[in-house]
A and B are shown apart, each in its own frame.
Chain A
Amino acid sequence: MIINHPILGPRDSQEFVYLGAAEMMNRPDGMSAGIEEFHEWLYHRDNPAGEHRELWYHEQGDRSWLVVTRNTLTHEISRVELARDVAKAMGRSK
């Protein structure tokens, strides 16, 4: 597959490491959330046949974590964003 890196342009997916669903970015705060909330976050995720937002790491590249929107049926990649930008837009900070 080819991932259109927001900074570097098209790069072979062989340069990347796959992590999983981008929902994982929504990590609860350990000082306020309890075990149930963490459990739900860590273990319960959708497995869609179709569009899926997922985390890829450009390990053999610029080390950016990316959020890639990929159709799991066709492998069509419709959107690629820097995970940091997405995280900040979600309200994550320090």
Chain B
Amino acid sequence: MSQSNRISGGQIDRSKTLSFRFDGKSYQGHAGDTLASALLANGVRLMGRSFKYHRPRGPLSAGSEEPNALVHLRSGARQEPNTRATVAELFDGLEARSQNAWPSLKFDALAINDRLNTFLTAGFYYKTFMWPAAFWEKLYEPIIRKAAGLGALTRQEDPDSYDKGFLHCDLLIIGAGPAGLSAALTAGRAGAQVILADEDFRMGGRLKAETLEVGGQAGADWAAAQVLELAAMPNVRLMPRTTIIGAFDHGIYGAVERVSDHLAVPMKGKVRQTLWRIYSRRAVLAGGATERPIAFENNDRPGVMLAGALRAYANRWGVAVGRKVAVFTNNDDGLRTASDLRAKGLEVRVIDARKGEEVIDTSGRLGLKSVTIRSNGKVETIACDALGVSGGWNPNVNITSHHRSRPVWEEAIAAFVPGEDGPVGLTAAGAAAGALSTHGALATGQAQAIAALADLGIAAKADALPQAEDAPVAISPKWYVAGGKGRAWIDQQNDVTLKDVKLAQQENFTSVEHLKRYTTLGMATDQGKTGNVLGLAVMAGLTGKTIPETGTTIYRPPYTPVAMGTLAGRSRGKEFKPFRLTPSHKWAEEQGAVFVEVGMWLRSQWLPKAGETHWRESVDREVLATRKSVGICDVTTLGKIDIQGTDAAAFLDKVYANNFASLAVGKCRYGLMLREDGMVYDDGTTARLGENEYVMTTTTANAVLVFRNLEYARQVLWPDMDVQLISTTEAWAQFSVAGPNARKLLEKVVDQDISDAAFPYMGAGAITVGGIRGRLFRISFSGELAYEIAVPTRYGDALVRKLMEAGREFDAIVYGTEALGVMRVEKGHVAGNELNGQSSALNMGLGKMVSKKKDSIGMVLSQREALLDPNGYRLVGVKPVHKDGKLTAGSHFLAIGAAPVIENDGGWLTSKVYSPHLGCDIALGYLKAGDQKIGTQMRAVNLLAKPVQETLVEIVSPHFFDPEGERLRG
């Protein structure tokens, strides 16, 4: 049965035979085939089972509107569900399987649903599975999901790659049928930058499927010649296999290019698909039209097809879907199918609704065998294996609706056409605009291109159009055949029947939006491309309203389904985001450091030594070694902002809550930044390097935000201030050197005198290291005698090695972010967990830092009554009463004996570490009236732990370690 239904003609390459498999069976087709055309050529009409009733189904269409012929394409990790066989380009070795059928497509156990159809009508979930509520999630939904549905995911990692790109043009033309080609030729010849995108692998649109002539040539040949001319124009970019998926604001369109889907496996280095963002100044939608069916009893059997699809298979692919064909139409276009098929030698019976003829039923369980016709009262059954149905053509208005424009009803063609208020800069041409003849397409394509370019000041010429048919649309609307049992399909993908629409109407779900949600009409992968208008026309008929009165739902992006991988592009796995490496990264890697992601930065979390098996061993050692002698930490990630200008000092006074004007040259100061609502959002030290020159540091996390806010302050709030800003975060490699021996170590490295007298606490200034320019700041986060030393980043790697070498005699170590965290908690310094966006300086015990003698951001509102509540939250230190007591950040404070209810909540633990000095867990926390509770005992309760964790704790000063700060001034 090799290609038994292949007939002469078509635009396939018969010299190239391709082998493929469907449901395990081998077939052959030709280059230029789709999976659907090749299967039909082999006499295979049955390609899937329906969503709800598991009805046997074959393709309804020959294009992207397909509701039925959805398959699993490819196998293994590359298997893709819900692929439309009607657009899947055939390649050698293609493998596909049918979906939603078990154990096989021909015998599907769940076809029992079809017998139960009386119970499975619209809304049956809502009515049947209401009680008890708990059953829905645990029982009903899983069963329904298994029974009803589309394809299945492989749950394997996608082996292919995807990327994205950006394109710019004067005119984007969506669709390369006669209208799109005409528009592209007009614009291309005028010299405009043009992108012509078409979802098909071959351009030409409907001309490929017709026997119509254009300019005395076969339409398909004319189209091919125009594509050749366009391809030779450097200002025209042809994008076949590219679907415009959505119109976004201001001329931006999304497009998916299927780069490798026509190959078994993408070529080396190539992506499978590319997501393009197209920036157009104007766009023309030339997306054509989609034929719609007529609803009649059992109109969903394999072999029942849209009439235009039947003709497309014959003309484009040389495939006779059946040898004995019937055509049921309400318009002249259906007659074109009949005459084309007759010309191919097929036997065709026309059932013209306009003459009182109609199809009232069909037979054939797995494929059409006969149709029953009622003709002016006379009923007869004729044998046939294909039935073409034409209920008229719907312009593809989808993209014009993406900004909520509603299509309008055009009585002359009995269809919706684009509304007036579509996306700005987008106009429709050809069948998409309701110009359904070939001449109409050529003429409107040209006219819309000329108009669009005129808007841009580009003059385009109206060349003489080639001769083409200009038949009027002769249609007499007929939506459904009355008198059946109601098993007449409207939306085949969602198994919505005439009966379902009637039920929705009876239950008063008559608005189109309700109709959609109640029956699921127009949902899932095809988004109602064939069924929507039919469904609402039926509703209009049932309610006695006109179609315009009934209205229509509108369309959202994407136009056709988009793979998740395409949207993700290269951003997945290790490439989800870029990495930022610190200057000591290479050295730390050599030491076997464990890295932690801090935003995009990779920082050393701890640096294990040989024999250390638990992270705490490493961290405890790093803390103890630093406090005992000296430790080094890469702090390059802190934001650094260079601030210069004659108003720099005044500027700092505005953006910091505390005073900065008094800061002397060569000194640095800790600063607190508030939001306007009075909450603290960032902190850091700022050094005055010169009269009009400062360098500010921010937290790692807020570097970008602080910079943005500083720009806001200088451009918007105080626009006349003479202040210039630039980030220098990455320009300098900066290391903290902390511990009692910090100075001794640095004295070996720094060329200048850095004695306490020459470089006092909070000093800042220029130094050199082996002649290399650098900066030194005497600041401390750890509470130790500490410095931060900076050199140009290129020398950062050399500096850490030099520091370690110089520090050998002091047993210097490098510590990571965990040890940093331990030491800052021991000192009671706030960090991210305390800077939580809902805490004021007063909450942090830093209330006195907020100067009321100057206007600074957040000062006024930080003084609101509720924020000054003496019983509000205060930062406290927390120690377990018993040394082995465990603390957990997030635990809540409760008074001894108080029930764990919200009224008794005293606050919470923000940060917890193990302090190797104190030999126990310690924590910081926000406690109501905490400053008044120092020395008292409370419970720290973690209700989320199982069993609930309760620890008796002592409330202490947050300064666990060296509270007088003697060490850092040493």
Given A30-B860, A35-B863, A59-B708, check contact A83 B715 (CB 8 Å). Answer: yes
**Chain A, range 8-42, C-beta contacts under 8 Å to B:** 12-13, 17, 19, 25, 27-31, 33-35, 38-39, 42
A43 and B476 CA atoms in complex are apart in Å by 60
A1 x B250 contact (CB < 8 A): yes
Complex alpha-carbon distance, A92 and B863, angstroms: 25
Asked if B215 is an interface residue, CB under 8 A from chain A, the answer is no
Q: How far is the CA of A1 from the CA of B251 in the complex (A)?
A: 8
Set of chain B residues within 8 Å of A57, measured between Cβ atoms:
708, 711-712
Residues of A within 8 A of B676 (CB): 27, 38, 42
Bound Cα distance A62, B272 (Å): 35
Indicate whether A94 sits within 8 Å of B647 (C-beta atoms), given known contacts A38-B860, A42-B677, A65-B711: yes
Select the stretch in B85-93, B552-560, B851-859 that faces chain A. Answer: B851-859
Known A-B contacts A42-B677, A63-B711; A2 and B249 likewise in contact (beta carbons under 8 Å): yes
Contact across chains for B424 and A76 when beta carbons are under 8 A apart: yes
Measured between beta carbons, the chain A residues less than 8 angstroms from B717 are 25, 27, 87, 92
Taking a contact as CB atoms under 8 Å apart, the answer to whether A30 and B855 are in contact is yes
Partner of A94, one of B249, B650, B708, B863: B650
Residue of B nearest to A27 (CB): B717
* CB proximity of A38 to chain B, nearest CB, Å: 5
Which one, B718-726, B791-799, B895-903, B951-959, is touching chain A?
Answer: B718-726
| A42-B677, A63-B711 as given contacts; A94 in contact with B718, CB under 8 Å | yes
On chain A, the residues within 8 Å of B719 by CB distance are: 84, 87-88, 92-93
Q: Is A45 an interface residue (CB 8 A)?
A: no
Q: How far is the CA of A92 from the CA of B719 in the complex (A)?
A: 7
Measured between C-beta atoms, what is the minimum distance from B678 to chain A in Å? 9
Contacts of A65 in B (CB 8 A): 711-712, 715-716
Give the most central of A19, A57, A65: most B CB within 10 Å. A65
Indicate with 1 or 0, residue by residue over B231-272, a CB within 8 angstroms of chain A CB atoms.
Answer: 000000000000000001111100000000000000000000
Cα A79 to Cα B864 with chains together (Å):
37
Chain B nearest Cβ from A85, distance in angstroms: 8
Q: How far is the CA of A19 from the CA of B717 in the complex (A)?
A: 14
Given the known interface contacts A57-B708, A63-B711, A75-B249, the answer about A93 and B718 at a Cβ–Cβ threshold of 8 Å is yes
Contact A84:B715 (CB < 8 A) given known A30-B855, A33-B860, A42-B861 = yes
Enumerate chain B residues within 8 angstroms of A75, measured Cβ to Cβ: 249-250
Known: A17-B708, A30-B856. A84 touches B716 (CB 8 A): yes
Known: A87-B716, A94-B650. A2 touches B721 (CB 8 A): no
Contact with A along B138-154 (1 / 0, CB 8 A): 00000000000000000
A68 at the interface (CB under 8 A from B): no
**Identity of the chain A residue whose Cβ is nearest the Cβ of B717 in the assembled complex:** A27
The verdict on A35 contacting B861 (CB below 8 Å), with A2-B249, A94-B650 known, is yes
Q: Which of B248, B403, B708, B715 has the most CB of A within 10 A?
A: B715
Residues of B within 8 A of A64 (CB): 715
Task: List chain B residues, Cβ under 8 A from A88.
Answer: 719-720
Interface contact A92-B860, CB-CB below 8 Å: no
Chain B residues closer than 8 Å to A39, beta-carbon distance: 861, 864
Q: Shortest distance in angstroms between B641's beta carbon and chain A's nearest beta carbon?
A: 12
A38, A59, A76, A77 — which one has the most chain B CB atoms within 10 A of its CB? A38
Min CB distance B95 to A, Å, is 40
Given A27-B717, A65-B716: A35 touches B711 (CB 8 Å cut-off):
no
B716 touches A25 (CB 8 A): yes
Looking at the complex, which one of A2, A28, A38, A92 makes contact with B252 (CB distance below 8 Å)? A2
**Least CB distance, B588 to chain A, in whole angstroms:** 30
Q: Given that A17-B708, A75-B249, A87-B715 are contacting pairs, would A93 and B720 also be in contact in the complex, using a CB cutoff of 8 Å?
A: yes
Q: Which of B639-663 contact A (CB under 8 A)?
A: 647, 650
Evaluate contact between B859 and A30: CB separation under 8 angstroms.
yes
**Residue in B650, B677, B718, B719 whose Cβ sees the most chain A Cβ within 10 Å:** B719
Please report the C-alpha to C-alpha distance between residue A63 and residue B712 in the assembled complex, in whole angstroms. Answer: 9
Whether A34 contacts B249 in the complex (CB less than 8 A), given A87-B717, A94-B650, comes out as no
Question: Which residues of the partner chain B approach A93 to less than 8 Å between Cβ atoms?
Answer: 718-720
Instruction: Enumerate chain A residues within 8 angstroms of B711, measured Cβ to Cβ.
Output: 57, 63, 65
Q: Chain A's nearest CB lies how many Å from the CB of B249?
A: 4
Which positions 799-855 of chain B face chain A at CB distance < 8 Å? 854-855
A1, A19, A34, A74: the one contacting B860 at CB < 8 Å is A34
Q: Which residues in B have their C-beta under 8 angstroms from that of A63?
A: 711
Chain A nearest Cβ from B103, distance in angstroms: 50
In the complex, are the beta carbons of B720 and A31 less than 8 A apart? no
Instruction: Give A87's nearest chain B residue, CB to CB.
Output: B719
Give CA–CA (A31, B859) in the complex, Å.
10
In the complex formed, the residue of B with least CB distance to A92 is: B719
Q: How far is the CB of B566 from chain A (nearest CB, A)?
A: 18
List, in ascending order, chain A residues with CB within 8 A of B861's CB. Answer: 35, 38-39, 42
Give the docked Cα–Cα distance between A76 and B712 (Å): 25
Alpha-carbon distance between A8 and B248 when the two chains are bound, in angstroms: 22
**Partner of A55 from B650, B677, B716 at Cβ < 8 Å:** B716
B426 to chain A minimum Cβ distance, whole angstroms, is: 14
Within the assembled complex, what's the spacing in Å between the Cα atoms of A40 and B24? Answer: 72
Bits for B417-443, please: 1 = Cβ < 8 Å to A, else 0. Answer: 000000010000000000000000000
B855 touches A94 (CB 8 A): no
Find out whether the CB atom of A1 lies under 8 angstroms from the CB atom of B249.
yes
- Residues of B close to A2: CB separation below 8 A: 249-252, 279
Contacts of A17 in B (CB 8 A): 708
Complex CA gap A75/B720 in Å reads 32
Please name the residue on chain B nearest to A19 by beta carbon: B712
The answer on a CB contact under 8 Å between B855 and A29 is: yes
- Cβ contact within 8 Å between A31 and B424: no
Q: Are B716 and A83 in contact (CB under 8 A)?
A: yes
Give the docked Cα–Cα distance between A77 and B250 (Å). 9
User: Which residues of B866-916 have CB atoms within 8 Å of chain A's CB atoms?
Assistant: none
Q: Contacts of B855 on A, CB cut-off 8 Å?
A: 29-31
Q: Closest CB-CB distance, B750 to chain A, in whole Å?
A: 35
B915 to chain A, nearest CB (A): 40
CB closest residue in chain B, given A29:
B855
Q: Tell me the smallest distance from the CB of B266 to a CB of chain A, in Å.
A: 28
If the complex has contacts A57-B712, A59-B708, are A31 and B718 also in contact, measured as CB distance less than 8 A?
no
A57 CB, nearest partner CB in chain B, Å: 6
Residues of A within 8 A of B715 (CB): 64-65, 82-84, 87
CB pair A31–B854 under 8 Å, yes or no, is yes
| Minimum Cβ distance to chain A for residue B199 (Å) | 25
Residue of B nearest to A38 (CB): B860
Question: In the complex, what residues of A have CB within 8 A of residue B647's CB?
Answer: 94
B862 to chain A, nearest CB (A): 10
| Closest chain B residue, CB of each to CB of A34 | B860
Q: Which residues of A contact B250 (CB under 8 A)?
A: 1-2, 75, 77
Chain A residues, CB < 8 A from B720: 88, 92-94
Q: A76–B425 Cα gap in the complex (Å)?
A: 12
> Which chain B residues border A35 with CB–CB below 8 Å?
860-861, 863-864
A1–B252 Cα gap in the complex (Å)? Answer: 7
Closest to A93 in B: B720
- Nearest-Cβ distance from residue A31 to partner chain B, whole angstroms: 5
Q: Which of B249, B424, B677, B704 has the most CB of A within 10 A?
A: B249
Q: What residues of B have a CB within 8 angstroms of the CB of A59 in the complex?
A: 704, 708
Residues of B contacting A55 with CB < 8 Å? 712, 716
Q: From A28, A64, A83, A94, name the one whose CB has the most chain B CB atoms within 10 angstroms.
A: A94
Question: Would you give 27 A-B contacts (Cβ < 8 Å), ordered by A?
Answer: A1-B248, A1-B250, A2-B249, A2-B251, A2-B252, A12-B279, A19-B712, A25-B716, A30-B854, A30-B856, A33-B860, A35-B860, A35-B863, A35-B864, A39-B861, A42-B677, A57-B708, A59-B708, A65-B715, A74-B403, A75-B250, A77-B250, A84-B715, A87-B716, A88-B720, A92-B720, A94-B647
Known: A12-B252, A55-B712, A92-B719. 4 other contacts (CB 8 A): A31-B855, A55-B716, A59-B704, A83-B715
The 10 closest A-B pairs by CB, nearest first: A30-B855, A2-B250, A93-B720, A1-B249, A87-B719, A84-B715, A38-B860, A84-B719, A65-B715, A75-B249
